[in-house]
């Protein structure tokens, strides 16, 4: 019996460890993110910067995230690819004010728990000071029992231009290790919630597809070591559900994705937005015609 308990603990999410340096956009890093914090519905949708900062707060606290303690992180570590600290305060306020709906299991039954993502925080007023923050105890309880997680590659996380792409990326990384599963179906409302589409926005499926799904799929297919795609499922003429598919790339496809990640941010952004314009070829008309 003790061996069974020990084996069970090995597969708990909090027993997993990240890799590299997740705070450095130019170097490889991995963040372990509990599945309960991936498949959430944010009642107040967060921005792309908010989600990145929250992932870094999780990574910083990870070794003791299961304890009700105060965590500390240098403010400079949360800047990511942004030059200043000005975004941090607004992101913290949104994270502290965001209530997420998390699906949990108790006694063999499924429940929805409404929980705050981030507890109180103290920010040093010095430019190079520290941020002290807490993970809410109700959330800690969920994390202690978590057995499903995503491994987020931070180099990829920093490259996304759309928050929908980051949301979808986290959803795939949570599922990609599941054996014999490369597809999952969602209702339109479920998908809107998981991708954190603001209420009242992109209500028509045509708009949701154009400005959310296609944008996210294009970024992921260019930056990630796997492909994703959506297939609409209709009831009559109306799209009722959507099937999400994912499958790994070939070795050359993975190399192409890594090469794009390694590009200068200006070049990478241009390619993500539809291609980098070719530079005009300059002809030296002072040279003989045969050498032109």
* pLDDT at residue 214, as a whole number: 97
Of 140, 155, 170, the residue at which a domain comes to its end is 155
Two tokens, residue 56: 């870094």
- In a domain, residue 169? The reply is yes
At 19, the pLDDT band (50, 70, 90 cuts) reads very high
- Measured CA distances, 122 to 70, 184, 210 (Å): 10, 41, 40
Do 69 and 122 fall into the same domain? Answer: yes
* pLDDT at residue 83, as a whole number: 53
Do 100 and 228 fall into the same domain? Answer: no
Give mean pLDDT, residues 11-36: 93
How many domains are contained in the chain? 2
Please state, rounded to an integer, the average pLDDT across all residues of the chain.
Answer: 88
Do 220 and 139 fall into the same domain? Answer: no
Q: Is the pLDDT of residue 64 over 90?
A: yes
Q: What is the pLDDT of residues 136-185, one digit of tens each?
A: 999 999 999 999 999 999 999 999 999 999 999 999 999 997 777 899 99
Q: Is the pLDDT of residue 49 over 80?
A: yes
CATH of the domain at 134: 1.10.10.10
Do 75 and 176 fall into the same domain? Answer: no
Q: What is the pLDDT of residues 102-125, one digit of tens each?
A: 888 888 888 888 999 999 999 988
At 132, the pLDDT band (50, 70, 90 cuts) reads very high
Yes or no: say if 161 and 219 are a contact pair by the CB < 8 Å rule: yes
Q: Is the pLDDT of residue 283 over 80?
A: no
- In a domain, residue 257? The reply is yes
Q: DSSP 3-state helix, strand, coil percentages of the chain (rounded to 5)? A: 40, 25, 35
If you ran DSSP here, which 8-state letter would residue 172 be given? H
If you ran DSSP here, which 8-state letter would residue 122 be given? E
* pLDDT at residue 1, as a whole number: 44
Considering only residues 42 and 67, tell me which one the structure prediction assigns the higher pLDDT.
67
Q: What is the pLDDT of residues 195-234, one digit of tens each?
A: 999 999 999 999 999 999 999 999 999 999 999 999 999 9
- In a domain, residue 283? The reply is no
pTM: 0.87
Q: Is the pLDDT of residue 286 over 60?
A: no
Do 37 and 146 fall into the same domain? Answer: yes
Dihedral sign, CA of 163, 169, 171, 174? negative
At 288, the pLDDT band (50, 70, 90 cuts) reads low
Do 180 and 140 fall into the same domain? Answer: no
Considering only residues 85 and 243, tell me which one the structure prediction assigns the higher pLDDT.
243
The closest of 111, 91, 139, 115 to 42, measured between CA atoms, is: 115
- In a domain, residue 201? The reply is yes
At 7, the pLDDT band (50, 70, 90 cuts) reads very low
Q: Is the pLDDT of residue 99 over 50?
A: yes
Percent of the chain with pLDDT over 70: 88
* pLDDT at residue 13, as a whole number: 95
- In a domain, residue 288? The reply is no
Of 128, 155, 182, the residue at which a domain comes to its end is 155
DSSP string, 123-155: E-SSTT-EEEEE--HHHHHHHHT---EEEEEHH
- Domain span at 38: 17-155
Distance CA 26, CA 107 (A): 45
* pLDDT at residue 242, as a whole number: 97
Considering only residues 5 and 63, tell me which one the structure prediction assigns the higher pLDDT.
63
Give mean pLDDT, residues 264-274: 87
Percent of the chain with pLDDT over 90: 69
* pLDDT at residue 285, as a whole number: 41
């Amino acid at each position: 019996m003790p061996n069974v308990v020990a084996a069970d603990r090995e597969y708990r999410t909090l027993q997993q460890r990240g890799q590299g340096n997740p705070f450095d956009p130019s170097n490889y890093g991995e963040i372990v993110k509990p599945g309960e914090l991936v498949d959430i519905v944010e009642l107040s949708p967060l921005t792309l910067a908010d989600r990145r900062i929250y992932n870094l707060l999780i990574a910083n606290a990870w070794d003791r995230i299961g304890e009700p303690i105060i965590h500390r992180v240098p403010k400079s570590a949360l800047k990511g690819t942004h030059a200043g600290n000005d975004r941090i305060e607004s992101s913290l306020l949104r994270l502290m004010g965001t209530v997420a709906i998390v699906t949990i299991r108790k006694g063999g039954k499924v429940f929805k728990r409404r929980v705050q993502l981030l507890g109180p925080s103290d920010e040093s007023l010095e430019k190079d000071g520290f941020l002290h923050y807490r993970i809410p105890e109700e959330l800690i309880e969920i994390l202690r029992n978590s057995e499903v997680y995503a491994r987020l590659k931070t180099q990829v996380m920093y490259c996304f231009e759309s928050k929908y792409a980051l949301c979808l990326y986290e959803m795939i990384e949570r599922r990609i290790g599941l054996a014999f599963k490369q597809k999952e179906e969602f209702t339109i409302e479920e998908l809107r919630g998981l991708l954190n589409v603001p209420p009242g926005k992109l209500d028509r499926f045509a708009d949701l597809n154009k400005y959310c799904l296609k944008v996210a799929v294009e970024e992921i297919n260019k930056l990630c070591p796997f492909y994703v795609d959506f297939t609409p499922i209709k009831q009559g003429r109306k799209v009722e559900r959507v099937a999400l598919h994912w499958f790994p790339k070939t070795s050359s496809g993975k190399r192409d994705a890594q090469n794009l990640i390694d590009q200068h941010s200006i070049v990478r952004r241009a390619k993500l937005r539809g291609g980098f314009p070719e530079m005009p070829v300059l002809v030296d008309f002072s040279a003989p015609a045969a050498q032109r």
